[in-house]
Structure 1
Amino acid sequence: MKLLPVGGCVVGFVLAYAVFVLSPTGRRLEDATLLPPDLTNSLGAISPGLIAIGIVLVLAVGVLQQHWRETAAAAVLMAASISIAWVLKEWLHRPESAGNSYPGGHVTACAAIVLGAILVLPRDMRPVALAPGAVLTSYVAAATAELGWHRLSDTIGALALCGAVAAALSDGPPARWAAITGAIAPIAAVLAGYVAVASTTSSDLVIVATGAIAAGTMAAVALPLCAQPRATADTRVAAGYDGTPTYPV
């Protein structure tokens, strides 16, 4: 089941690039609501430090719990997601533009840290981190859109990328419903994003849509890390439970 969310996220990443970057119509719709970039905001200067702090905190939580495998997986997840996003941003081409912003680096870093944090937590605690992680990612996505640094499609691409890497590195097979949700979410985000930019020319409304889509997609791609299949009778027997009560002697 791990391949299902990986494949869905990859499809969502490619679809977002095709619809919003390669397609002239998609580019025109997004560019119509893109604000002029604000290069005076201090977020750009402090974000590398915040990203470094987030990575260190995630790894520290894993080490303190002695969750060595999960900590190693979280380290690979964060390093791979951020590195791949940087390489793709340099390698991919945006027609009729001097530079490419797909996928968004800030949202990639935030989502990778959130997914890494979920991965190092005990399994019964992981669902608790879903809501705050989705809210944080939503804020970063909306903030970068408001500053004119990124488009809605950049956010979708970042979350699809992180979702694929996280699903590939998950420490167990996800529940079927979680795998399906994680696979469908990036594709649904592309459709929702296209409806949003095609329905309005208001930058404010697109920023709100960016935050909402980011929150929903972030929660969905994190589900495969949180929802594990329920133990069956066969697995309990294999673990040594035969249904016979035992009594102290």
Structure 2
Amino acid sequence: MSGLASGRRIRAVWSIVFWIAVGVGSYVLGVQSALGQQAEASVLDAARFTTDPPAPLNLVSIPTVGIALLVIGLVALGVHGIRRALGLLVVSAAALVASQLLKLQLLPRPELFELDAPNTFPSGHMTVFTVLVAAIVWAVPTSARALVAVAGAALLAAVGWQLLAYGWHRPSDVLGAIALGVVAFAVATLIKPATSRSTPALYRTVRAGFGMLGWILVAGSLALAAFAAAQSNQDLLLDAGQFGIIGASVLAARSLLVLSTGPR
């Protein structure tokens, strides 16, 4: 068991390094850079802003998040016991609090050009959904985790797409939130690795598929962003941001699945 735990801790360290790099890179390039701020302002300009978006984005509120975490905690309690349930609730709450502290207190947004807007890094809404997806992946029986991760990837992709399409957030905000949620659970895995020896159904297929699809979408979004910038096309720049967020969502779901199960 010690060798298995050691392997899972190594995987957790790699996830922490990778997603911290994503989060820091998003902040430096999107928030602290004049060019990044201008590019993200173009994305916002192309969005169709609304204060009344459809589900799942409109489902977020303090009561609904509390109820969702309570239900997930009860699932974890029934499947894995009290330690797993409490652990999931503590990690989830810590990530949500950290998101607000980072956005409101610790990560200022300098006004580098006249069209700048107040700081929204990282996105609180995306943090909520990332944390909920991570928690449910850990809460369900091991055999079901790969399928739950697929549903979680679809949910994260839909929310990320909405946040950009409706002008609620910039791409860097969403990427930072995804990174924060994954890092929180990766740190928890580093401290207390998963102990299950079983493999989820379709684990290898889903893991490989997530990896290929995620990186294809990320690469495609970067190419589209470069083309959009050369053409000064705001609509294409928005599309590039959305494809990039979908790719990041798929890669995040992959990380959460692997962290919850361990290397195979």
Q: What TM-score does the superposition give when structure 1 sets the normalisation length?
A: 0.77
CA spacing shift, 1:165–1:187, aligned 2, 3 Å: farther
Q: CA RMSD in A?
A: 3.4
1:134 counterpart = 2:153 = yes
Higher Cα Rg: structure 1 or 2?
1
Task: Give 1:218 deviation, angstroms.
Answer: 2.4
1:199 counterpart = 2:223 = no
- 8 Å CA contact 1:193–1:209 kept in 2: the answer is yes
- 8 Å CA contact 1:107–1:155 kept in 2: the answer is yes
Deviations 1:108-151 (A, max 9, x none): 10010110111122223222211000001111111111111011
Residues 15-164 of structure 1 aligned to structure 2 (within 5 Å):
15-34=25-44, 35=47, 37-41=49-53, 46-48=59-61, 49-90=63-104, 91-96=106-111, 97-164=116-183
Task: State the AA in 2 paired with 1:113.
Answer: L
Task: Give 1:41 deviation, angstroms.
Answer: 4.3
1:224 counterpart = 2:258 = yes
Task: State the AA in 1 paired with 2:226.
Answer: A
Residues 228-239 of structure 1 aligned to structure 2 (within 5 Å):
228-230=262-264
Task: State the AA in 2 paired with 1:93.
Answer: P
Separation of aligned partners in 1, 2:15 and 2:160 = 22
Deviations 1:29-61 (A, max 9, x none): 121121264234477774114322321221110
Separation of aligned partners in 2, 1:122 and 1:86 = 31
Range 105-114 or range 123-132, more displaced: 123-132
CA spacing shift, 1:172–1:188, aligned 2, 3 Å: farther
CA spacing shift, 1:109–1:189, aligned 2, 3 Å: farther
CA spacing shift, 1:218–1:4, aligned 2, 3 Å: closer
Deviations 1:43-91 (A, max 9, x none): 7774114322321221110122252222122112210111111111113
CA spacing shift, 1:62–1:223, aligned 2, 3 Å: closer
Q: What TM-score does the superposition give when structure 2 sets the normalisation length?
A: 0.73
Structure 1: stretches of 5+ with no match in the other structure? 231-249
* Alignment match, 2:185: 166
How much identity, in percent, do the aligned residues show? 23
Separation of aligned partners in 1, 2:67 and 2:141 = 21
- 8 Å CA contact 1:153–1:190 kept in 2: the answer is no
Task: State the AA in 2 paired with 1:29.
Answer: A
* Alignment match, 2:4: none
- Count residues in correspondence: 227
- 8 Å CA contact 1:145–1:210 kept in 2: the answer is no
